[in-house]
Amino acid sequence: MGTPVIAGLGTAQPPAAMQDELWTGFFARHFQGNTRALAERIFANSGVTRRQAAVNPLLEDVSEWPTERRMRRYQVEALPLGKEAVSRALTAAGLDAADIGMFVVCSCTGYATPGLDILLARDLGMSPSTQRMFVGHMGCYAALPGLGAASDFVTARGRPALLLCAELTSLHIQPPGARVDTQQIVSHALFSDAAVAAVVVPGGRGYALREVTSVTDTSTADHMTWDVTDTGFRMGLSPKVPQVLSRHVRELIDELLARHGCDRSDVDGWAVHPGGPRILNVVERELALPPHGLAASRGTLAEHGNCSSPTVLLILDRLWRTEPSPPRWVVMLAFGPGLTLYAALLERVG
């Protein structure tokens, strides 16, 4: 049937705002009392210079909105963003929407039925026989199991598949409060909005998906949570997350590479999800990466923030556009609830 190959990527993002403008124009008054000084330090050390927001708090404060209103807005904002990303990915791969045999959509920031998978398939002209899969509440690592499902379909059926990751974290700003809540400050300082689509085809030119693998440490399931509340979705993020990653990341990556006759020195492209500066520092240390090894991840964090599931695809897009030539071997690595580590090995072909 042919090796599954990522033949095209498409990105779409709402308007950007500078991190310092978001702080002075909104969050400086959103955090109250003793919390404000702590929040200012976290914002300043977040590694984020600018980020994108479909619902910009400088223009529209949603922090007191009920969840129902946020979900209605999700559909309004996510549909055109997803359409733009998908259209660009199809163009890059030289395909039409009618060619797609499976459409996988990942999102943990909004829910509605009919969902993005159905509405986009309709609006873009996909075949009525196109199979669909919606992946929700996997958080920041969802792109990798999404790619795995798409590639399995391509391998089994010999037809193209399409993955879309679309997140609107800007809809989930929590109400202000005087109580110190470091987890909420961190999430408000890091998260951003984006949509990225990837077309996977049987063979051809692009990045061959050699393997997707994962490990989950269920003993730390409470370290990362995403709770549906009456005022949107609320992030729970333990400061112990980097410690858990440090216990598992080296073995996960080394075993993945060994199965393909490689080691870390062969990898010339690292697409590591920037859950924050500490996450990247831990991965860099545990994998003994060179100083420039995570430049694409740090650059993406600085320019786009943490966009949840689309972020690792944004980094891959950045690596793909490397001049004079993209890297041959790319490791994608992302983390999320579970705690779960997902990794994928890509090889440039064609």
In tens, the pLDDT along 280-290 reads 999 999 999 99
Same-domain status, 44 and 111: yes
Which pLDDT score is estimated for 179?
60
**Could you give the CA distance from residue 124 to residue 127 in angstroms, rounded to a whole number?**
9
Same-domain status, 285 and 229: yes
Same-domain status, 182 and 224: no
If DSSP codes are grouped into helix, strand and coil, which group holds residue 268?
A: coil
Cα distances (angstroms) measured from residue 343 to each of 204, 251, 258:
23, 11, 13
Same-domain status, 32 and 156: yes
Same-domain status, 212 and 174: no
**Could you give the CA distance from residue 169 to residue 133 in angstroms, rounded to a whole number?**
21
**Could you give the CA distance from residue 327 to residue 331 in angstroms, rounded to a whole number?**
10
Which pLDDT score is estimated for 178?
52
Same-domain status, 345 and 223: yes
Give the count of domains, the chain.
2
Which pLDDT score is estimated for 111?
92
Same-domain status, 109 and 258: no
Average pLDDT of the chain, as a whole number: 95
Q: Are 78 and 115 in contact (CB under 8 A)?
A: no
| Nearby residues of 290 by Cβ (< 8 Å), 6 or more positions away | none
Domain end, chosen from 187, 202, 217, is at 202
**Could you give the CA distance from residue 186 to residue 223 in angstroms, rounded to a whole number?**
14
Task: Please count the other Cβ atoms lying within 10 Å of the Cβ belonging to residue 8.
Answer: 23
Same-domain status, 253 and 164: no
CATH number at residue 97: 3.40.47.10
Same-domain status, 198 and 221: no
Q: At 144, list the tokens.
A: 């990798």
Q: Which amino acid is at 60?
A: E
* Catalytic residue ranges: 140
Domain end, chosen from 151, 185, 202, is at 202
pTM of the model: 0.96
Same-domain status, 195 and 220: no
Same-domain status, 289 and 217: yes
- pLDDT tens digits along 119-137: 999 999 999 999 999 999 8
For the chain, list residues with pLDDT below 70: 1, 178-180
Which pLDDT score is estimated for 293?
96
**Could you give the CA distance from residue 184 to residue 236 in angstroms, rounded to a whole number?**
7
Domain end, chosen from 177, 202, 227, is at 202
| Domain span holding position 179 | 4-202
Same-domain status, 44 and 139: yes
Q: Are 215 and 248 in contact (CB under 8 A)?
A: yes
